[in-house]
Amino acid sequence: MIFDFDGTLIDSGNDLATAVNHTLRTLGIPVLEKDRIIEFVGDGVRKLIERSLGDAFHDKFDEALDIFMSYYDKHLLDTTGLYPGVLETLDYFRIKKKVIVTNKLYGFTLKIAKGLKIAQCFDDIIGANSSLYKKPDLRVIRPLMKKYDVEDKHTVVIGDGNNDVLVAKNTGVLSCAMLNGLGNKDELLQLKPDYFCENIKELKNLFE
């Protein structure tokens, strides 16, 4: 079971948006609506900052990235918490091989996972800088399947982002879209995931 992180296991939208707007405010750039910032999440921190700055302030990228990284590292657990049912679901599947694969940086991911006491539930945690590749590239998934000797039909990617459904399709494994996360529900359904659910607890009814 390959889980996305932001928007799937953790509700991190507020802290991400706050960190982005702190960055913009520090640079004297107009802040953005939270929902707009959430639209930029999913392709890693560099893309998040790039999109938040827009073309008009692209020259501020390096400075903005430094400000964001420093601030978010100190505030990534201010309001971030687990979605309802996460602990119960991870415990239910405790004998399954479970991995986090996220485009979030590994350090941030591990810090949050430890802070919310779920790091020990996973056999592996793969962040954006843990691999040469990122979702939706199949080369971030294939080595894990080989490592744990798991077949395509016995592997599922669970996530709230387009990249989660796409990496599953690119790899030839099952996909399960989480419709209650940070991703766009309509866009996810248009990608025709193999399964979808509104609450992570529904996974218990979908997979053995």
**Which residues are part of the catalytic machinery?**
4
Tell me which H or E stretch contains 85. Answer: none
CA atoms within 13 A on the CB side of 199: 9
Nearest in space to 180 (alpha carbons), one of 166, 194, 200, 157? 200
Nearest in space to 68 (alpha carbons), one of 109, 16, 120? 16
* Contact status, residue 45 vs residue 20, Cβ threshold 8 Å: no
Q: How far are the Cα atoms of 74, 95, 97, 196, 200 from residue 89, in angstroms, in the given order? A: 29, 12, 13, 15, 7
